[in-house]
A and B are shown apart, each in its own frame.
Chain A
Amino acid sequence: MASDPGSGKDALVYRHRLITRLWHWINALAVFVMIGSGLMIFNAHPRLYWGHFGANYDPAWLELPRFPGWVTIPSHYSLSGARHWHLFFALVLAFGLLVYLLGSLANRHVQRDLRIRRRELSGRHLWADFRAHLALRFHDPESPRDYNIFQKLSYIGVLFVLLPVLILSGLALAPGMWPWIADLFGGRQSARSVHFIAMALLTGFVLVHLTLVMLAGPLDEVRSMITGWWRVPGTGERK
């Protein structure tokens, strides 16, 4: 067991390797910029459609008021300025994810830390983990270094579904790219809708992620993502 509550010393474990930590912060910046500049780009035509085409005379499935300046990049209306941010950080996001995923397969981070065991998907395990979350217990005391099942599912969802879908649906919007990318989504306007929905889901992930970091102990969690070393909860608390 990693923890030794009696000793009063911190039980530190090396939790995040350098490539994970580097990518985490680069990607956090990229996601922040992509959402802010993307909302500004959306403001240029705040309507969403399904299919290949869609403009003002066509029926929109979603029409929103413009997003306010405090959530957009830039804060004043500038489609060209937002595109400069969006197209630059698109490269950071896409190539960052590519390098991180290849690195994480090579160093077995994915296979070791994100692999879901069959027993974790049993109803009993899911329910127990859900109740543990409600009680703000996020780590299995038997193996505190491991991700819990909800962490694994959400990280897998973000790494292998949401981010790739965001990148692919973004490329589908580019008239210079292969047309089959837009066709995958059922047309360019469908791709634009999927791009927006995936952005909303990613924003939801970020909000839940930040909330759980606050609940799990922000200092230890943020430190572990900077230095790699994480203090096992329930150990080393000095009274």
Chain B
Amino acid sequence: MITRRNLLVTGGATLLAGCDSLSDSPVLMSADEAHHFLQRSIVGRAALAREFRADQRSPRFRVNGTANPNTPSYSAMAANRFVDWRLAVDGLVARPLSLSLANLRSLPQRAQITRHDCVEGWSAIGKWQGPRLETLLQLAGLRPEARYIVLHCGDSIAGQPYYESIDLVDAFHPQTILAWAMNDAPLTVGHGAPVRLRVERQLGYKQAKYVMRVEAVATLDGIGKGKGGFWEDYNGYEWYAGI
């Protein structure tokens, strides 16, 4: 017998189950592109993220994502203070680069005190320093067909190598840097040593840590599962994380 109560409970459960199965529908996920378009159109491409005073920094900066890659090769480099580490800049560039940490430190530097916003909701403020990504791309000579910059990382989550990607608007943004220092000290392992990306107008999962290789590509199709990043490929997070 169908009682009103049963109907309500079943109806409610069906409604919720319906919601659950629709969560990854292309219609809902199209909102990411809409926000991307709206923000780029309204806010402006070169608008700066807020920068803070030194005394406004978080007393303690929470680590996001991987706390330690713990692979044999990474641990060996970390034990050696990353003197053997090289950053590859390749893909659609005229002159592929292989840069040491000393090379990165000798390039023109940018330092900024910015807020790191995790997709989960928490925020922390810290100071980051490193060369602008634009400087590296100009040294390498970006080819005209390049559309995205892919950051290949030294850590894995659930057996999948971490990677992230940004478009050229963010790659050439004045606050987009490859940070090797945090709060005036070399990056710790927890915060992505030796180098992490800072792309300040996007959420925390875009701030790729343990960067090993910067690759310029024309399309994201052949990278990972094609959605432009680890969290995008395996957990359905938005590629554009400005919102």
Contacts and interface: CB of A to CB of B under 8 A. Distances in A.
Nearest to B62: A55
Interface string B1-43: 0000000000010001101100111011111101100010001
A56 B62 contact: yes
B149 to A, nearest CB: 17
A97 B182 CA distance: 43
Contact of A41 (B47, B121, B240): B121
A90 to B, nearest CB: 8
A55 B43 contact: no
B62 to A, nearest CB: 4
Nearest to B44: A178
A76 B23 CA distance: 11
A217 interface: no
Contact of B58 (A55, A74, A87, A174): A55
A78 interface: yes
Interface string A168-209: 000001111111001100001100100000000000000000
Given A58-B58, A179-B50, A85 B23 contact: yes
A228 interface: no
A82 B119 CA distance: 12
Contact of B202 (A36, A82, A91, A175): A175
A87 B238 contact: yes
Contact of A84 (B16, B118, B203, B236): B236
Contacts of B200: 175
A79 B241 CA distance: 13
B115 to A, nearest CB: 6
A54 interface: yes
Contacts of A74: 16, 19-20, 23
Contact of B49 (A42, A84, A175): A175
Report, nearest first, the 5 A-B pairs whose CB atoms are least far apart. A176-B242, A81-B23, A179-B50, A45-B121, A55-B122
